């Protein structure tokens, strides 16, 4: 027995990074959680399926957040006058240490999970903290939300404050195995291996995580080339490596067919690092707002798109203050303009369709066929009501989408489907 | 008979550009529209005045928007992939030409005036279009809103499309006099002379406006040094001037005691132009979001603050897409970080208190004693409810203000007072 239904409305998704497919007043059909396609009329074999009539509203694919720190949501926007390494020490690490307290973790993560559920995001790759019980609480809350998420218990056994540092590699790996045992029954929230970043992981820990990755085939996420001070530090810590990406690669934690990997930021990746990411299929999580707030810079997204690298968007809560990937799209366009104007006029700014592509198909691809209403894609859909943005103009669906990306907030998200399941 | 009342809540305002005055659970007293001060307890002579109890909510001064184009609100966020001069020709000018149609103007301006009324802004300096009837409609709507605003019928008699260009200087000046006659009975919405920018005003028009300014002592607003292409154009158009600012100054439309002037943008003002602005007391309207969207650059706000120039914030609708001056504060901090990182490390980023100062006292000073709860200041107050931003942390009033600046939208604005009048 197949379960089918259709959504009717003004449907928009990316065909390519440069082109939008726009279907006003069409039907998007879902069968067993998978998209059948978009049709002007219901085809005969689907003539009798239930139709949710969202006429006059926009329907877009669910958005993917490729990088965010769930525990940092509690202090987003505070202390943004610091650069990355200072901000980690004065704000981030003390705040993450609080998650040793499970009551606090539950209160904080409940707020995060509910806000993520109400947003336009349907898929996300998230960092927890090093704490196993708190990370499992986060995962249970996300499982209940209905979203499809990847969550990592963070590994960190050096260069971290005493109250947020694992004793050694062995202790970190044992905790990681306990965490994996604790979440193995979850269906929608799955684990992802998460060495925080090279400066906070000993060689022994990286080697142990590589072994665990080989054993489990779990995906991996970490940080790469965010800030020049950080890059110089990695060069000191890993003198045998030719660069930051190479240092991950030497530990076998940098993509490849059996090791799907997300690297957040890549603001300062050089040609060699880019070539390695391309060769290994590493996904870049572009986090424009965080890169501004922490004065990291602006990633050369035009280069990444031209070179055909895998790239999506990340909110990077709480380097970024906004959970919205719609906001991340507008931010991505805006920062690329400043990069062009102030830094390097050889790379043209990215366009809004390109930003939309990154926030849907670009990042969605890490989860499989995700981010478009094409046949065979996961049926992730967001219904947007722009009636609180009145206009005296007759707007096209594309113009309405543009306004929602620049102007709207979570109020615009009125219905959401993930793998065909209606969340609200 | 004096009319007095007090607002009770967590009161925050700027003391200096670097320091906030923070009074948790205090009373701000208003007498005849003017602030008496902030007190822990009601002083004896005010013991019996009505108190609006906003305990648990933040109370900040009303914000000032020093630069926005009311007619452009209708198409904000559309076509942002263009630079200034192209954007003017393909989007802005055709859209402004629509305001020849008074029905359209009424529909569009009603939306703008209502959104401005609901925002945290209490004072604004606004451009209309060249059309006298439409500009008067805008002014009547703003008068009804209760806000304190300055609105300019725009003057433009060259280098503009046929359907948005006045015949000649004489016609433009006659229309300006008709407009001034039409709005002379308004109390809260007052006129401001508004040559669009030098490229769109003939010498004869500038000379005529100077005469009118001398005669009426009206304030002046225009654009200055926004974009390098524009600056080069002004150099061609005004070969006798040493620079863009000097060109305005030669026409007597660039500040001075009898000619209060706002110049929007000043992204690329050189040392000579800065010195002239300082000498003449010109107010700079810093419009960070617009300067990003139109790829203009980032104004050297650190220099302006250090040199003691008059500076406030502008939304610059629709170069900027957001009407919120809270958003402009966060944008100002963010773009200053990218300017520092990518362009000029000699100018440190601005801080959030500095941005808050610009959005309150900095811009407010153009309207007199505005933007703080000090004795003798206009009683402009905004009551903010941050309960829709739940947090597991115990936040200080300053942290709550920070979150509202970065995260909130107009939902947070629950009450507003202008000159002691309650708008809602």
Q: pLDDT (tens digit, 9 = 90+) per residue, A153-201? A: 999 999 999 999 999 999 999 999 999 999 999 999 999 999 999 999 9
pLDDT of residue B404: 96
Cis geometry, peptide bond prior to residue B318 (ω within 30 degrees of 0): yes
- b/e burial code for range A206-235 (CB count within 10 A of at least 16 → b): bbbbbebbeeeebbbbbbbbbbeebbebbe
Confidence of residue A263 (pLDDT cuts 50, 70, 90): very high
- b/e burial code for range A345-368 (CB count within 10 A of at least 16 → b): eebebbbbbbbbbbbbbbbbbbbe
Q: Which of B80, B104, B108 is the best mutation test for A, with the most CBs of A within 10 A?
A: B80
Q: Are strands B421-422 and A413-418 parallel, antiparallel or unpaired?
A: unpaired
Q: State both tokens at A37.
A: 């396609």
Q: How far apart are CA A237 and CA A247, in angstroms?
A: 10
Task: Answer whether B417's CB lies under 8 Å from B381's CB.
Answer: yes
Task: Answer whether A307's CB lies under 8 Å from A389's CB.
Answer: no
For chain B, give me the number of helices (H) and strands (E)?
15, 17
Find how far residue A422's CA is from the centre of its chain: 21
User: In terms of Cα–Cα distance, which of A424, A334, A331, A328 is closest to A385?
Assistant: A424
Chain A residues lying within 8 Å of B402, measured CB to CB: 77-78, 80
Of B74, B406, B407, the CB nearest to A393: B74
pLDDT of residue A204: 98
Q: State both tokens at B421.
A: 């009048």
**Which ranges constitute the DSSP H helices of B238-351?**
244-250, 271-280, 288-293, 301-306, 325-342
Higher pLDDT, B1 or A405: A405
Residue B366 DSSP one-character state: G
User: In terms of Cα–Cα distance, which of B78, B140, B289 is closest to A392?
Assistant: B78
Of A107, A352, A391, the CB nearest to B81: A352
Cβ–Cβ below 8 Å for A391 and B111: yes
Cβ–Cβ below 8 Å for B403 and A81: no
Task: Answer whether B66's CB lies under 8 Å from B262's CB.
Answer: yes
Q: Are strands A189-191 and A194-195 parallel, antiparallel or unpaired?
A: unpaired
Task: Answer whether A222's CB lies under 8 Å from A194's CB.
Answer: yes
The dihedral through the CA atoms of B63, B65, B70, B74 has a sign that is negative
pLDDT of residue B84: 80
User: In terms of Cα–Cα distance, which of B30, B189, B180 is closest to B122?
Assistant: B189
- b/e burial code for range A86-109 (CB count within 10 A of at least 16 → b): ebbeebbbebbbbbeeeebbbebb
Give A391→chain B minimum CA distance, Å: 6
pTM: 0.98
Q: For A139, how many CA atoms within 13 A lie in the half-sphere containing its CB?
A: 27
Residue B80 DSSP one-character state: T
Helix H, strand E, coil C: the string for chain A is CCCEEEEEEEEEEECCCCCEEEEEEEEEEEECCEEEEEECCCCHHHCCCCEEEEEEEEEEECEEEEEEEHHHHHHCCCCCCCCHHHHHHHHHHHHHHHHHCHHHHHHHHHHHHHHHHHCCEEEEEEECCCCHHHHHHHHHHHHHHCCEEEEECEECCCCCCHHHCCCCHHHHHHHHHHHHHHCCCCCCEEECEEECCHHHCCHHHHHHHHHHHHHHCCCEEEEECCCHHHHHHHHHHCCCCCCHHHHHHHCCCCCCCCCCEEEEECCCCCHHHHHHHHHHCCEEEECHHHHHHCCCCCCCHHHHHHCCCEEEECCCECCECCCCHHHHHHHHHHHHHHHHHHCCCCCCCCCHHHHHHHHHHHHHHHHCCCCCCCCCCECCEEEECCCCCCCCCCCCHHHHHHHHHHHCCHHHEEEEEECCEECC
Could you count the other beta carbons within 10 Å of the beta carbon of residue A387?
9
Confidence of residue A62 (pLDDT cuts 50, 70, 90): very high
pLDDT of residue B1: 57
In B, minimum Cα distance to A323 occurs at B407
Cross-strand pairs, A52: A7
Task: Answer whether A273's CB lies under 8 Å from A246's CB.
Answer: yes
Could you count the other beta carbons within 10 Å of the beta carbon of residue B265?
29
pLDDT of residue B408: 82
Q: Which residues of chain B have pLDDT under 70?
A: 1
Of B298, B338, B391, the CB nearest to A74: B391
> pLDDT tens digits, residue range A309-326?
999 999 999 999 999 999
pLDDT of residue A1: 57
Cβ–Cβ below 8 Å for B322 and A407: yes
In B, minimum Cα distance to A227 occurs at B341
Whether the complex's predicted ipTM is more than 0.95 is answered with yes
The dihedral through the CA atoms of B82, B88, B94, B98 has a sign that is positive
In A, minimum Cα distance to B410 occurs at A409
Give A30→chain B minimum CA distance, Å: 32
Q: How far apart are CA A271 and CA A285, in angstroms?
A: 18
User: In terms of Cα–Cα distance, which of A27, A30, A49, A46 is closest to A38?
Assistant: A27
pLDDT of residue B2: 74
Q: How far apart are CA B38 and CA B374, in angstroms?
A: 7
Find how far residue A84's CA is from the centre of its chain: 19
pLDDT at A83 over 80: no
Give B117→chain A minimum CA distance, Å: 15
Mean pLDDT of A123-128: 98
Q: Which of A91, A338, A347, A354 is the best mutation test for B, with the most CBs of B within 10 A?
A: A338
Interface of B with A (CB under 8 A): 74-78, 80-81, 104, 107-108, 111, 289, 292-293, 295-298, 321-322, 330, 333-335, 337-343, 349, 351-352, 390-393, 399, 402-403, 405-407, 409
Confidence of residue A81 (pLDDT cuts 50, 70, 90): confident
Confidence of residue A408 (pLDDT cuts 50, 70, 90): confident
In B, minimum Cα distance to A109 occurs at B392
Interface of A with B (CB under 8 A): 74-78, 80-81, 104, 107-108, 111, 289, 292-293, 295-298, 321-322, 333-335, 337-343, 349, 351-352, 390-393, 399, 402-403, 405-407, 409
Residues with Cβ within 8 Å of B103's Cβ and at least 6 positions away in sequence, in order, are: none
pLDDT of residue A410: 79
Question: Nearest 5°: phi and psi at B284?
Answer: -95, 130
Classify B199 as helix, strand or coil.
Answer: helix
The gap between the terminal CA atoms of chain B, to the nearest Å, is 24
Task: Answer whether A363's CB lies under 8 Å from A313's CB.
Answer: yes
Cβ–Cβ below 8 Å for B391 and A111: yes
Cα A30 to Cα A15, A33, A53, B257: the distances in Å are: 19, 6, 14, 69
Q: How far apart are CA A311 and CA A288, in angstroms?
A: 12
Cβ–Cβ below 8 Å for B77 and A111: no
What is the interface size between A and B, counted as CB pairs within 8 Å? 117
pLDDT at A144 over 60: yes
């Amino acid at each position: 027995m197949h379960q089918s239904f259709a959504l009717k409305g003004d449907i928009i998704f990316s065909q390519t990074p440069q082109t939008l497919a726009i279907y006003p007043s069409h039907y998007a059909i879902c069968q067993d959680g998978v998209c059948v396609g978009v049709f002007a009329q219901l085809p005969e074999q689907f003539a009798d399926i239930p139709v949710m009539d969202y006429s006059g509203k926009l329907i877009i694919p669910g958005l993917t957040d490729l990088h965010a720190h769930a525990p940092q949501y509690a202090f987003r926007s505070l202390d943004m006058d610091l650069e990355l390494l200072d901000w980690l020490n004065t704000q981030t690490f003390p705040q993450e240490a609080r998650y040793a307290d499970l009551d606090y973790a539950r209160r904080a993560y409940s707020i995060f999970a509910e806000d993520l559920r109400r947003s336009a995001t349907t898929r996300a790759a998230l960092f927890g903290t090093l704490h196993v019980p708190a990370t499992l609480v986060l995962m249970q809350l996300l499982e209940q939300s209905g979203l499809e998420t990847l969550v990592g218990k963070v590994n960190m056994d050096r260069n971290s404050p005493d109250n947020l540092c694992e004793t050694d590699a062995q202790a970190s790996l044992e905790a990681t195995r306990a965490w994996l045992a604790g979440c193995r029954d979850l269906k929608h929230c799955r684990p992802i291996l998460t060495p925080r970043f090279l400066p906070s992981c000993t060689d022994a820990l990286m080697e142990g995580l590589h072994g665990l990755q080989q054993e489990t085939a779990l995906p991996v996420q970490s940080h790469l080339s965010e800030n020049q001070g950080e890059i110089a530090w990695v060069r000191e810590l890993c003198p045998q490596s030719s660069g930051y990406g190479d240092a991950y690669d030497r530990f076998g934690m940098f993509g490849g067919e059996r090791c799907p990997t997300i690297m957040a930021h890549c603001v300062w990746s050089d040609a060699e690092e880019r070539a390695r990411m391309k060769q290994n299929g590493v996904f870049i999580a572009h986090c424009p707002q965080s890169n501004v707030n922490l004065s990291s810079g602006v990633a050369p997204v035009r280069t990444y798109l031209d070179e055909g690298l895998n790239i999506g968007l990340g909110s990077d809560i709480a380097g970024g203050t906004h959970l919205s990937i719609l906001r991340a799209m507008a931010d991505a366009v805006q920062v690329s303009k400043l990069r062009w104007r102030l830094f390097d006029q050889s790379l043209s700014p990215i366009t809004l369709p390109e930003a939309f592509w990154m926030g849907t198909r670009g990042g969605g691809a890490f989860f499989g066929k995700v981010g478009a209403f094409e046949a065979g894609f996961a049926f992730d859909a967001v219904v947007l009501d722009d009636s609180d943005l009145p206009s005296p103009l007759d707007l096209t669906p594309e113009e309405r989408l543009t306004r929602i990306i620049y102007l709207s907030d979570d109020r615009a998200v009125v219905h959401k489907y993930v793998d065909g399941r209606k969340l609200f």
